[in-house]
Amino acid sequence: MKKLLLLAAATVGLGLTAQAPARAADFSKARIDVIVKATTSQYWATVFDGARAAAKVLGLQISTLGATSEADVAGEVTIMENAIASKPTAIVIAATNAAALAKPIAHATAAGIPVIVVDSDANTSKYVTFLATNNHTGGVKAADELARCIKARTGKVAGQMAYLTALAGAQSLNDRDKGFLDELKKYPGLKIVAHRTGNNDPARALTDSEDILTRNPHLVGIFADNEIEGDGAGTALSEKNLGSKVCLVSFDTSSEEINFVKKGVIDALIVQNPFMMGYAGVWYALAAAHGVVFPHYVDSGVSVVTKANIDSPAMAGLLNPKKYTLTPFLGE
């Protein structure tokens, strides 16, 4: 069903040409503003890659916008307000902060501009659809992967754990952490002894990880809930030669994280589909501007990457947007 819904936008978009069978529909005057949390992140660059691919297929204009840091919530609010004032055909946005972006998103909708929310939700229902990972499920998978790794290394699912949160107030991260903590209850032998919030700062992600490892010499596992925290934790484990002793599971697919998986420092990556968020987000935005109604939530999928499957064809496009292949959905 998930893939069917993702393809629905493409099917509907092509259907928009039905009124003029002699020629393709002209969307060259349409403009979609795509607003991400931070333009400096590899993850958000992949969302832009997907959006640009959709714009090329549809022949429309896109503006790729975002603050330089996910911590700059006020910056994203300003970007959203400026986008509304410029009256685009539609807006695709990932909300850095669920509370702060709620009013601007509702404002855009009230102004007649369709809004597609991707990746991270906002505290409003005034948008067309929310296209994102089921982050709670991702957190559950992270806990299960850590338990599997710890048992494989120690013979039992027990010991001290830590987790790293990238940013307070981001709904996607809240859901990941909750899923992780909820699932951890199934493993009573695993105990949380440390939790840090790094404000999405690479330097702080590293120092937080180093400090946790120093203060907790018997640590058996770490969960990092985004690529910044994963890079920091992986670097700390690598520098201290603890990659074979402390299990690490992280979200996302930065170049550093992928290298750490291949080296055995990161044991599993919980992988989203940011390319499809950008690609389908733009399709949905155009279709919504033409009156198409979508489900209020569409799951873009979540996968687990390990050293065993990192080079498999099934994971290629999720790890490298240049290898992403769009194929027809033929049913499940």
Q: Whole-angstrom Cα distance, residue 16 to residue 4?
A: 18
**30, 38 contact by CB (below 8 A):** no
pLDDT at 25: 85
Q: How far is CA 294 from CA 2, 6, 32, 178, 329, in A?
A: 13, 10, 17, 27, 18
Strand order in the sheet with 297-299: 61-66, 31-36, 90-93, 115-118, 129-132, 297-299
Same-domain check for residues 101 and 38: yes
Is residue 316 included in any domain, yes or no? Answer: no
Cβ count near 290 (within 10 Å): 16
Same-domain check for residues 167 and 145: yes
pLDDT exceeds cutoff 80 at 214: yes
pLDDT exceeds cutoff 60 at 1: no
Same-domain check for residues 48 and 151: no
Same-domain check for residues 237 and 114: no
What are residue 224's DSSP bridge partners?
A: 164, 250
Q: Residue 2: which pLDDT band, with cuts at 50, 70 and 90?
A: very low
Domain's final residue, options 219, 250, 271: 271
pLDDT at 329: 65
Instruction: Report how many domains make up the chain.
Output: 2
Q: Residue 205: which pLDDT band, with cuts at 50, 70 and 90?
A: very high
Radius of gyration for the alpha carbons in the chain, expressed in angstroms and rounded: 20
Which phi and psi (to 5°) does residue 130 adopt? -115, 115
Q: Whole-angstrom Cα distance, residue 94 to residue 133?
A: 12
Same-domain check for residues 276 and 262: no
Q: Which domain holds residue 112?
A: 2-132+272-301
Same-domain check for residues 288 and 262: no
Q: How far is CA 230 from CA 67, 258, 273, in A?
A: 21, 10, 17
Of 149, 170, 174, nearest to 159 by C-alpha is 149
Q: What is the CATH number of the domain that holds 221?
A: 3.40.50.2300
pLDDT in tens, 119-165: 999 999 999 999 999 999 999 999 999 999 999 999 999 999 999 99
> What value does the mean pLDDT of the chain take?
92
pLDDT exceeds cutoff 70 at 24: no
What pTM does this model have? 0.87
pLDDT at 116: 98
Same-domain check for residues 198 and 295: no
Is residue 126 included in any domain, yes or no? Answer: yes
Same-domain check for residues 256 and 142: yes
What's the whole-number mean pLDDT along residues 8-36?
65
Same-domain check for residues 162 and 104: no
Domain's final residue, options 251, 271, 291: 271
Is residue 315 included in any domain, yes or no? Answer: no
Is residue 167 included in any domain, yes or no? Answer: yes
